Amino acid sequence: MAMRDRPLSPHLQVYRPMYTMVLSIAHRAAGLALSAGSLLLAWWLMAVAGGEAAYASAADVFSAWPVKLVLTGFMLAFWYHLFAGLRHLAWDAGYGFAKAQARKSGWLIVVLTVLGFVGGALYWHFAGGGA
């Protein structure tokens, strides 16, 4: 059988977006965002180790509103990836595979993400990081 005669797998356009599919894609996207964010973390750590002038330069960049917006996105990605990862650990242990349990745990990670994000944002703002 030639390669061109083989059936094609259905594309994403064929599937109706389901709640669990959206959560899975969001988990992967959050992981990618955190990987990219680790470059900013490494830069900041090098600036801290580089002395007062390097830190002042980095602080100027990190205080700009576009960078604060990116950091806010990283904070959201962190909380979501953390809670979705804990859900995956429970699945690895064999818990929560029933449809009702999977839906409840999905909603739980969304609620916990919002609570963690709001709590982190409030702390960031009132601790002076957002000023």
Q: Which position has the higher pLDDT, 85 or 97?
A: 85
- The amino acid at residue 41 is L
18-27, 32-41, 48-57, 120-129: the lowest-pLDDT one: 120-129
d(CA 90, CA 92): 5
Pinpoint the alpha helices (H) of 4-64: 19-50, 52-62
Mean pLDDT score, 12-37: 88
Residue 4 has pLDDT above 80, yes or no: no
What's the confidence (pLDDT) of residue 1?
Answer: 55
Residue extents of the structural domains in the chain: 21-126
For the domain made up of 21-126, give the CATH fold: 3 helical TM bundles of succinate and fumarate reductases (1.20.1300)
> Any residues with CB less than 8 A from the CB of 109 and at least 6 apart, and which?
23, 80, 83, 84, 86, 87
